Structure 1
Amino acid sequence: MTRLSVEMLAADTVEPITSAGHAQLGIAVLLGIAVIVLLITKFKLHAFLSLTIGSLALGAFAGAPLDKVITSFTAGLGSTVAGVGVLIALGAILGKMLADSGGADQIVDTILAKATPRSMPWTMVLIASVIGLPLFFEVGIVLLIPVVLMVAKRGNYSLMRIGIPALAGLSVMHGLVPPHPGPLVAIDAVDANLGVTLALGVLIAIPTVIIAGPLFAKYAARWVDVPAPDRMIPQRASEELEKRPGFGATLSTILLPVVLMLLKALVDIIVDDPENVVQRAFDVIGNPLVALLVSVIVGIFTLLRPAGFGKDRLSGLVEKGLAPIAGILLIVGAGGGFKQTLIDSGVGEMILEISKDWSIPALLLAWLIAVAIRLATGSATVATVSAAGLVAPLAADMSTTHAALLVLAIGAGSLFFSHVNDAGFWLVKEYFGLDVGQTIKTWSVMETIISVVAGALVLLLSLVI
């Protein structure tokens, strides 16, 4: 990550804040990342402080004026929190409502009753893929991970055994399947057919999510055996509740933002006229912030009222729901600040300039460029947009299917090896209660598997269609 919306990318194309050459800039990136890892692992410094210091160190190593480094870092922190902070907050409130009303208990108890231990990872990957289809990654995380943590705790499952499939489902949908912003921008840049890209994206996503999800989870659970962190698990609702909301009502409340965002995506494709009144209405209704806010409001009537909650308890519930996410917001924001410092230092441009001289097949070139920018900047969306802009001329003589595969090659590369410059890395680390090494062994390796498997499938399909 940071998986920011397309509108935020304008800030990523400013004049570099340093005139450092490629060699100095490359060394500065490596040293900046090393500072962050060392501060967290060796000196046990909080990730927020480590990311802040690492960003300043990166700028200093690159020879950038300190005031401009600070401006880049704070701008990146602000845009990241603006993009995901409210979504995380609303998701936390909805999660607290689900927990205190007994709705989450109803969902978890139903899942545990219906799914066998063997089928549980497959159940989680299916749920995550369906939820992740129209959702931004961050929204899917805040909706799904509390349920994953509760299932792991109540059913005595390995956290990684069911957590990795859920993360894989969300991530694969984000990188490969429209209407996520990255694939949509790449489709526009290379003038690919959206319907063909969607169909091929789903075709590639299915085996990719199986390999990176349930299959890889077996190994991840052996490498990292940690319990679900108590501080992030919604507590079981009081037995004094008048009654619990029904399974149908609870599930409908959870899926409401998913449905609203999916409807927006469908209207955008069918109508395709920004001035159309219907499309403008759905642009508002399907906005992630509005969709989650509507779900919270609906939850008051579908979750809290049936459980006997009065008006006086609502304010306290919201306050308690927001408290645990303060640290997460700061860490995710600092990850975004580090990402922006990298971009403003000219790292993305450096990768693009170097890659111009590579003489390899177009699909592999697109994948490699996206990988390089992803590793350097931490942003899947920036990697997608930059790589698409570079290889777009190559699509001029391509068939419809190969142009779609070019988009998917870029999307696959943009997911490669998430690490400390990716706000998503810190989001997963904090939600699952992992240390940096454990996050790399699980989340980072899973992202790499997704990227490599999807990229290989793209190349394979290019030979047969």
Structure 2
Amino acid sequence: MTRLSVEMLAADTVEPITSAGHAQLGIAVLAGIAVIVLLITKFKLHAFLALTIGSLALGAFAGAPLDKAIASFTTGLGSTVAGVGVLIALGAILGKLLADSGGADQIVDTILAKAGGRGMPWAMVLIASVIGLPLFFEVGIVLLIPVVLMVAKRGNYSLMRIGIPALAGLSVMHGLIPPHPGPLVAIDAVKANLGVTLALGVLVAIPTVIIAGPLFSKVAARWVDVPVPDRMIPPRASEELDKRPGFGATLATVLLPVVLMLSKALVDIIVDDPAHMVQRVFDVIGSPLIALLAAVIVGMFTLGRPAGFGRERITQTVEKGLGPIAGILLIVGAGGGFKQTLIDSGVGQMVLDISKDWSIPALLLAWLIAVAIRLATGSATVATVSASGLVAPLAADMSTTHTALLVLAIGAGSLFLSHVNDAGFWLVKEYFGLSVGENLKTWSVMECIVSVVAGGLVLLLSLVI
């Protein structure tokens, strides 16, 4: 166990900072979440500030000394950023290299050249899923929307028939598959195995994206039939480039971290001997830090150089990739601070004590908690980090696979019903030129399908593995 994980484990097992009973703690949780929701929705405060204030409010309502509440928050913020911050940064760099070099366009053009007619919605799912692996949801939308609009316009396809599969692919990757911030934070909070979570996440993601994407798009196209908004078709990222990387090299670079992390999980199962040289090697190269770092370094040569990027251009691309994630890092860190305040106040143990008397499965409880926070705050990331802190004690006696399924249950719940308090809702609405009602009938319903199908599959898997 690394020094960081020891420190985090110690932070999770210290004596509660308050002696409040279950009733007071329950009120404190509701009050803390209410403060966060009110600040985000009513006063339009940034989620980082809302989570910070909400954490202190939680401590105050729980009767904790202010200095101890502050210490819990800063400890949680620091450990979360230390645990996942570097991974988020590396993922952002890889995504920026992919976009600026034209590698993303190369994948899109190659797959679209092979698809046509009824196969186009399936091609859009494949494109979004592959492109969405290293990209944040908002970045993926900005990157893929021009493709969706151009395909729908040139091929005379229904906008919903093409757009919904692409959005489904991006959303499922964002909620279920590391190295996206939400799954990484949940993995860190419940001490899940990243490789096993990744493998099970892919297993859950495939049928989920098929149902919510190509299949639901047939219904969505009948419900909403709108023309392609020409004004929203911007120039593509690679139009200024004389050349761009090849399809094979680009795809290999994008999939490299996934292959390395899955290889580690496979070796752990087959070898099952921590002292064995093979397992020790894969423990290193399959760790998320090394896997993503390797992909970034490889990408500088397989993506940057073929596009004609010199050292200065690659450096600029790295810098531009890091800039936009500052807000994400702060939100994730503050979410970790809120999680630690929950744990140190004794809320996690309270949930564990109360849930023992319930007949509701732990995975379903995790899904419902994430759904409630998602509906209230509009943020999948806030829902994931908050729910992870609440249900973390439930993972103590779980097997490796069930702990991974707990992460996926939280991720599935965090995607439920995107509506007017979600920035993604407005992003999709404006890009597709939809009314609020049309967006609710398409994008919002699709998110519900993703959440329910993924949650159902997680529960089903828990019965057979």
Q: TM-score, normalised by structure 2?
A: 0.71
Partner of 2:311: 311
Structure 1 residues 125 and 75 mapped into 2: Cα distance closer, same or farther (>3 Å)? farther
Work out the CA distance in 1 between the residues paired with 2:122 and 2:167: 11
Q: Are 1:101 and 2:87 matched, yes or no?
A: no
Structure 1 residues 163 and 293 mapped into 2: Cα distance closer, same or farther (>3 Å)? same
Deviation at 1:255, TM superposition (A): 1.1
Instruction: Report if the CA contact (8 A) 1:212-1:446 is conserved.
Output: yes
Instruction: Report if the CA contact (8 A) 1:100-1:235 is conserved.
Output: no
Work out the CA distance in 1 between the residues paired with 2:333 and 2:76: 7
Q: What is the DSSP-based 3-state SS (H/G/I as helix, E as strand, rest coil) of the residue aligned with 2:316?
A: helix
Q: Are 1:162 and 2:170 matched, yes or no?
A: no
Structure 1 stretches lacking a partner, 5+ long: 133-139, 188-193, 393-402
Counterparts of residues 15-54 of structure 1 (less than 5 Å): 15-54=15-54
Alignment equivalent of 1:387, drawn from 394, 405, 413: 394
Work out the CA distance in 2 between the residues paired with 1:76 and 1:431: 30
Q: Are 1:365 and 2:361 matched, yes or no?
A: yes
Instruction: Report if the CA contact (8 A) 2:343-2:389 is conserved.
Output: no
Instruction: Report if the CA contact (8 A) 1:352-1:369 is conserved.
Output: no
Instruction: Report if the CA contact (8 A) 1:129-1:173 is conserved.
Output: no
Letter in 1 for 2:393: S
Counterparts of residues 283-362 of structure 1 (less than 5 Å): 283-358=283-358, 360=359
Work out the CA distance in 1 between the residues paired with 2:54 and 2:288: 31
Deviation at 1:449, TM superposition (A): 0.9
Letter in 2 for 1:96: K
Counterparts of residues 144-163 of structure 1 (less than 5 Å): 146-156=139-149, 161-163=165-167
Counterparts of residues 63-462 of structure 1 (less than 5 Å): 63-116=63-116, 119=119, 122-123=122-123, 125=125, 140=133, 142=135, 146-156=139-149, 161-168=165-172, 171=175, 207-212=207-212, 214-215=214-215, 236-239=237-240, 241-358=241-358, 360=359, 364-371=360-367, 378-379=384-385, 386-389=393-396, 413-415=409-411, 417-418=413-414, 433=427, 441=444, 445=448, 448-450=451-453, 452-454=455-457, 457=460
Work out the CA distance in 1 between the residues paired with 2:291 and 2:404: 28
Letter in 1 for 2:456: V
Deviation at 1:291, TM superposition (A): 1.2
Q: What's the RMSD between the two structures over aligned residues?
A: 4.7
Structure 1 residues 258 and 339 mapped into 2: Cα distance closer, same or farther (>3 Å)? same
Partner of 2:433: none
Deviation at 1:201, TM superposition (A): 8.8
Deviation at 1:71, TM superposition (A): 1.4
Structure 1 residues 217 and 273 mapped into 2: Cα distance closer, same or farther (>3 Å)? farther
Structure 2 stretches lacking a partner, 5+ long: 150-158, 374-382, 430-435
Work out the CA distance in 2 between the residues paired with 1:309 and 1:202: 33
Deviation at 1:110, TM superposition (A): 2.4
Give the fraction of aligned pairs with identical amino acids, expressed as a percent: 60
Residue deviations 1:93-148 (CA, integer Å, cap 9, x gap)? 1222222222122122223434458655544555777899xxxxxxx453787455
Deviation at 1:366, TM superposition (A): 3.6
Letter in 2 for 1:312: E
Instruction: Report if the CA contact (8 A) 1:245-1:306 is conserved.
Output: yes
Q: What is the DSSP-based 3-state SS (H/G/I as helix, E as strand, rest coil) of the residue aligned with 2:27?
A: helix
Letter in 2 for 1:282: F
Q: What is the DSSP-based 3-state SS (H/G/I as helix, E as strand, rest coil) of the residue aligned with 2:28?
A: helix
Instruction: Report if the CA contact (8 A) 2:56-2:70 is conserved.
Output: yes
Work out the CA distance in 2 between the residues paired with 1:305 and 1:409: 40
Work out the CA distance in 1 between the residues paired with 2:412 and 2:460: 15
Work out the CA distance in 2 between the residues paired with 1:348 and 1:258: 32
Residue deviations 1:321-351 (CA, integer Å, cap 9, x gap)? 2111111211222122222222222111111
Work out the CA distance in 2 between the residues paired with 1:48 and 1:200: 31
Deviation at 1:13, TM superposition (A): 2.8
Structure 1 residues 322 and 203 mapped into 2: Cα distance closer, same or farther (>3 Å)? closer
Residue deviations 1:26-59 (CA, integer Å, cap 9, x gap)? 1111121111111122111112111111111111
Work out the CA distance in 1 between the residues paired with 2:217 and 2:12: 35
Aligned length: 414
Residue deviations 1:432-456 (CA, integer Å, cap 9, x gap)? 9589x99995797456414652366
Structure 1 residues 378 and 254 mapped into 2: Cα distance closer, same or farther (>3 Å)? closer
Partner of 2:376: none
Q: What is the DSSP-based 3-state SS (H/G/I as helix, E as strand, rest coil) of the residue aligned with 1:244?
A: coil
Structure 1 residues 451 and 203 mapped into 2: Cα distance closer, same or farther (>3 Å)? closer
Work out the CA distance in 2 between the residues paired with 1:323 and 1:383: 31
